[in-house]
């Protein structure tokens, strides 16, 4: 242990602990800006500087390891003056249109300004001197360089967590900026729209593209019938933006709030998640049969999941030779969209051209996905508007709804039923677990051999997880799988996806089925989730997801009554002609820059 003094208080810490963390241990708060728990140390904003006895300069507490006998002061006049200067300097480069900014009151620079830089401005405004660019090219997010404070959180996120590096630092000195390859628009580079950078941006430089006004317009248009679907991960995170601690399940309140906002029908993406299991599970079994029994060498295995649009765009850019390995299933959002304007419209006797389909997602990539030209199987845009968890919170606030005191409500019927299997789609490993719960039962006629259906090996925060399920006692139709060992792997965060893809590329991945989610932790850690998101918060949300699953009566996708009904009434069977028309898709190869 290392002993040091911070503000004359003794503290002992493990070797390698930073001064910042040591101070935290003493409940001494040091302001930070470029620092983020998920990312490597940058030490470039300098807001966290402190005085170290004997040092020639102040030191950045985030980047300075605690050392034996060190004496630190965090709040001297020297420190305060430097911090004030630093915040003042940042403000001169930053277009401070705070009252109009989407991040108003949720901006780390603004908070620091409140603490350190109130009153008269000291320095000269530099915003005019810079020819700042606002990039609105992506359907998922906006990049406004005039609000960028060059903390490089986004750059570190894109390279460290996602292995994408769509954005990087360009130029030096006064001209330094965060840029893309050849300064191309974000829609024309390798960006996966995952929004992890958006989630970590301390200011309004990176924000999701909002469609709140369009959704309000639709709600208030008497001609329109507005249906809304909510993704599994939203219900365990929305509360954070409305006054709850991380990990609070607010499903019933959220449904009621959506009804109060004026949506005509509040439905559940969980329904189409269950449907995805039926379609994707069947697809996997068919692929296995063709490969193992028929000896068809053209069948692409391992099969990859296709629920995560960030992952889809990643593989389209980086590993297009493996596009045939992707499940052809659309994501639950898009399955829902295609059915809303066909099956639902028919059942409710509504002209599909009058339906506006809205989805609430933990994700920014879903906005891009909804815009893909492939996603118009209903003859219309299947999903019209995608809102993030954060945007829904904004709408709830705009409508003056007292969320904490709201009664709980249930989803509406037709495509509103869900199972625990669908809920866990929101966490890494969840799709795999849901698929195994159903596929194992189809093949063997028995439940998966895990206590209380909890397939624990596929759960948790490890970057790459793997599991093997031995298939025994098959029913007659699946006898060819008798004794087979189904090998599966799970990766979350694209940096881990890349690890698996490297193995697959090298022919060293002996798996049948791989689940990949673009975001750390899966959808619970999505780019559209409340800010901040970090490891502890992801863990809390994950716990809430599994608790939601345990509380469900139905926990296996094939038992969802709405799913059973839709096959009976409309789709016929999984992977039927109709299913392929509406629920399956294809992918495109993209440039790798």
Partner 1 sequence: MENNGLNKVDLIFEKIDTKEVLIKAFKMSNAEIIQHMLDSGLKGRGGAGFPTGLKWKYTAAEPSPEKYIVCNADEGEPGTFKDREILDRVSNKVHGGMAIAGKAIGARSGIVYLRGEYRYLLPKLMIELDSFHKMIHEIGYDFNIEYRMGSGAYICGEESALFESIEGKRGEPRNKPPYPTVSGVFEKPTSINNVETLVTAVMIIFHGSKNFTQYGTKDSRGSKVFSVSGDTPTPGIFELELGMTVQHFVNEFGDGDTKAVQVGGASGFCVPRKKFAETIIGFEGVPTGGSMKLFNSSRSMYNVLHNYLDFFAEESCGQCTPCRVGCQQLLKGVEKVKKGESKSTYLTELMKLADTMKIAAKCGLGQSVGNAFKSIVSNFKEEIIY
Contact in structure between 230 and 206 (CB atoms under 8 Å) = no
* DSSP secondary structure letter of residue 445: S
Determine, following the binding rule CB under 8 A, whether residue 66 of this chain makes contact with partner 1. Answer: no
* DSSP secondary structure letter of residue 162: T
Catalytic residue status for 194 = no
| The pair of three-digit structure tokens given for residue 131, joined into one six-digit string | 């020819």
Residue 154's alpha-carbon distances to 12, 68, 130, 136, 143, in angstroms, are 33, 34, 20, 17, 11
Pick the stretch among 123-131, 221-229, 268-276, 384-392 that binds partner 1 (CB under 8 A). 123-131
Determine, following the binding rule CB under 8 A, whether residue 150 of this chain makes contact with partner 1. Answer: yes
DSSP string, 261-321: HT-SEEEEHHHHHHHHHHHHHHHHHHHHHHHHTS--TTS--SEE----HHHHHHHHHH-GG
Residue 116 or residue 380: which is nearer to partner 1 going by CB? Answer: 116
Pick the stretch among 146-154, 379-387, 471-479, 564-572 that binds partner 1 (CB under 8 A). 146-154
Whole-number minimum distance, CB 464 to partner 1, in Å? 25
Q: Is residue 488 within a helix (H) or strand (E), and if so which, with residue range?
A: strand 485-492
Residue 47 or residue 469: which is nearer to partner 1 going by CB? Answer: 47
Catalytic residue status for 363 = no
Contact in structure between 421 and 555 (CB atoms under 8 Å) = yes
Determine, following the binding rule CB under 8 A, whether residue 4 of this chain makes contact with partner 1. Answer: no
Q: Is residue 4 within a helix (H) or strand (E), and if so which, with residue range?
A: strand 2-6
Determine, following the binding rule CB under 8 A, whether residue 148 of this chain makes contact with partner 1. Answer: no
Catalytic residue, from 96, 138, 179, 327: name it: 327
Strand spans (E) along 40-167: 49-52, 59-60, 71-73, 134-135, 141-144
Catalytic residue status for 366 = yes
Determine, following the binding rule CB under 8 A, whether residue 315 of this chain makes contact with partner 1. Answer: no
Residue 179 or residue 529: which is nearer to partner 1 going by CB? Answer: 179
| The pair of three-digit structure tokens given for residue 298, joined into one six-digit string | 């053209």
Catalytic residue status for 474 = no
Whole-number minimum distance, CB 20 to partner 1, in Å? 12
> Considering only residues 9, 115, 126, 572, which one is a binding residue for partner 1 as defined by CB under 8 A?
126
| Residue keyed to tokens 């993704």 | 231
Catalytic residue, from 369, 391, 441, 548: name it: 369
Pick the stretch among 61-69, 304-312, 340-348, 489-497 that binds partner 1 (CB under 8 A). 61-69
Length of the chain: 593
Residues linked to residue 237 through DSSP beta bridges, in sequence order: none
Determine, following the binding rule CB under 8 A, whether residue 44 of this chain makes contact with partner 1. Answer: yes
Catalytic residue status for 51 = no
> Considering only residues 10, 16, 57, 100, which one is a binding residue for partner 1 as defined by CB under 8 A?
57
189: left (phi over 0), alpha (psi -120 to 50) or beta: beta
Binding mask 76-115 for partner 1 (x = CB under 8 A): --x--xx--xx--xx-xx----------------------
Determine, following the binding rule CB under 8 A, whether residue 20 of this chain makes contact with partner 1. Answer: no
Residue 43 or residue 457: which is nearer to partner 1 going by CB? Answer: 43
Pairing of strands 265-268, 177-179: unpaired
Whole-number minimum distance, CB 152 to partner 1, in Å? 7
Residue 85 or residue 539: which is nearer to partner 1 going by CB? Answer: 85
Half-sphere exposure of 490 (CA within 13 A, CB side): 28
Phi, psi of 324 (to 5 degrees): -65, -20
Name the CA radius of gyration of the chain, rounded. Answer: 25
Residue 122 or residue 134: which is nearer to partner 1 going by CB? Answer: 122
Catalytic residue, from 148, 151, 307, 329: name it: 307
DSSP string, 524-580: GG-TTS-S---HHHHHHHHHHHHHHHHT-S--SGGG-HHHHHHIIIII-STT-HHHH
Determine, following the binding rule CB under 8 A, whether residue 442 of this chain makes contact with partner 1. Answer: no
Binding mask 398-417 for partner 1 (x = CB under 8 A): --------------------
> Considering only residues 22, 23, 45, 329, which one is a binding residue for partner 1 as defined by CB under 8 A?
45
> Considering only residues 4, 6, 22, 60, which one is a binding residue for partner 1 as defined by CB under 8 A?
60
> How big is the site for partner 1, counted in residues (CB under 8 A)?
40
Determine, following the binding rule CB under 8 A, whether residue 42 of this chain makes contact with partner 1. Answer: yes
Q: Is residue 199 within a helix (H) or strand (E), and if so which, with residue range?
A: helix 196-200
For 292-323, b where at least 16 C-beta lie within 10 A, e where not — what string?
eeeeeeebebbbbbbbbbbbbbbbbbbbeebb
Whole-number minimum distance, CB 44 to partner 1, in Å? 4
Distance between CA 393 and CA 473 in Å, rounded? 49
Catalytic residue status for 280 = yes
Residues linked to residue 425 through DSSP beta bridges, in sequence order: none
Distance of CA 21 to the CA centre of its chain: 27
Pick the stretch among 52-60, 249-257, 258-266, 430-438 that binds partner 1 (CB under 8 A). 52-60
Catalytic residue, from 148, 329, 523, 548: name it: 523
Q: Which of the residues 151 through 210 are near partner 1 (CB under 8 A)?
A: 152, 168-169, 171-176
Catalytic residue status for 98 = no
Residue 44 or residue 187: which is nearer to partner 1 going by CB? Answer: 44
Catalytic residue status for 374 = yes
Residue 499's alpha-carbon distances to 315, 319, 492, in angstroms, are 12, 12, 10
For 227-248, b where at least 16 C-beta lie within 10 A, e where not — what string?
bbbbbbbbbbbbbbbbebebbb
Active centre residues (catalytic):
280, 283, 307, 327, 366, 369, 374, 523
Residues forming contacts to partner 1 in the complex (CB under 8 A) are: 41-47, 49, 56-58, 60, 63-65, 78, 81-82, 85-86, 89-90, 92-93, 122-124, 126, 129, 149-150, 152, 168-169, 171-176
């Amino acid at each position: 242990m290392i002993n040091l003094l911070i503000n004359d208080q003794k503290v002992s810490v493990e070797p390698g602990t930073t001064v910042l963390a040591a101070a935290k241990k003493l409940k001494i708060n040091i302001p930070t800006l470029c620092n983020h728990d998920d990312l490597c140390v940058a030490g470039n904003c300098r807001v966290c500087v402190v005085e170290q006895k004997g040092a020639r300069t102040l030191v950045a507490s985030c980047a300075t390891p605690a050392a034996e006998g060190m004496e630190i002061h965090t709040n001297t006049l020297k420190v305060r003056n430097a911090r004030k200067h630093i915040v003042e300097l940042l403000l001169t480069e930053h277009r401070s249109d705070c009252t109009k900014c989407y991040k108003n009151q949720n901006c780390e620079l603004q908070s620091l300004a409140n603490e350190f830089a109130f009153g008269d401005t000291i320095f000269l405004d530099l915003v005019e001197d810079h020819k700042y660019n606002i990039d609105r090219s992506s359907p998922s997010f906006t990049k406004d360089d005039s609000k960028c404070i060059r903390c490089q959180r986004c750059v570190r996120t894109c390279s460290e967590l996602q292995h994408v590096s769509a954005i990087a630092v360009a130029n030096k000195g006064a001209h330094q900026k965060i840029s893309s390859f050849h300064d191309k628009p974000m829609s024309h580079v390798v960006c996966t729209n995952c929004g992890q950078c958006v989630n970590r941006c301390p200011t309004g430089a990176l924000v999701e593209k909002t469609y709140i006004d369009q959704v309000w317009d639709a709600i208030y248009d008497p001609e329109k019938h507005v249906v809304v679907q909510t993704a599994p991960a939203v219900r365990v995170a929305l509360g954070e933006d409305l006054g709850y601690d991380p990990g609070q399940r607010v499903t019933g309140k959220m449904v009621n709030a959506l009804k109060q906002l004026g949506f005509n029908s509040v439905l559940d993406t969980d329904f189409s998640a269950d449907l995805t299991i039926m379609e994707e599970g069947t697809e996997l079994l068919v692929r296995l049969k063709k490969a193992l029994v028929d000896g068809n060498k053209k069948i692409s295995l391992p099969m990859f999941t296709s629920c995560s649009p960030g992952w889809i765009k990643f593989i389209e850019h980086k590993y297009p030779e493996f596009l045939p390995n992707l499940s052809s299933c659309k994501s639950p959002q898009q399955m829902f969209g295609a059915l809303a304007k066909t099956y639902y419209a028919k059942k409710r006797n509504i002209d599909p051209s009058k339906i506006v389909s809205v989805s609430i997602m933990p994700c920014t990539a879903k906005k891009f996905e909804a815009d893909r030209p492939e996603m118009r199987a209903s003859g219309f845009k299947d999903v019209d508007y995608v809102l993030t968890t954060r945007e829904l919170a904004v709408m709830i606030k705009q409508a003056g709804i007292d969320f904490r005191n709201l009664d709980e409500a249930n989803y509406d019927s037709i495509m509103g039923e869900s199972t625990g299997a669908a809920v866990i789609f929101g966490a890494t490993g969840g799709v795999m677990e849901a698929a195994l719960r159903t596929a194992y039962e189809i093949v063997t006629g028995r439940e998966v051999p895990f206590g209380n259906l909890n397939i624990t090996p596929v759960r948790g925060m490890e970057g790459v997880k793997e599991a093997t399920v031995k298939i025994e006692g098959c029913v007659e139709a699946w006898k060819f799988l008798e004794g087979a060992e189904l090998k599966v792997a799970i990766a979350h965060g694209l940096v881990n996806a890349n690890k698996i893809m490297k193995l697959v590329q090298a022919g060293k991945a002996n798996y049948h089925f791989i689940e990949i989610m673009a975001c750390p932790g899966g959808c619970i850690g999505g780019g559209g989730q409340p800010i901040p998101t970090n490891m502890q918060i992801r863990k809390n949300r994950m716990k809430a997801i599994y608790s939601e699953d345990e509380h469900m009566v139905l926990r296996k996708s094939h038992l969802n009554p709405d799913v059973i009904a839709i096959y009976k009434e409309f789709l016929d069977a999984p992977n039927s002609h109709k299913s392929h028309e509406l629920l399956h898709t294809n992918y495109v190869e993209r440039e790798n820059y």
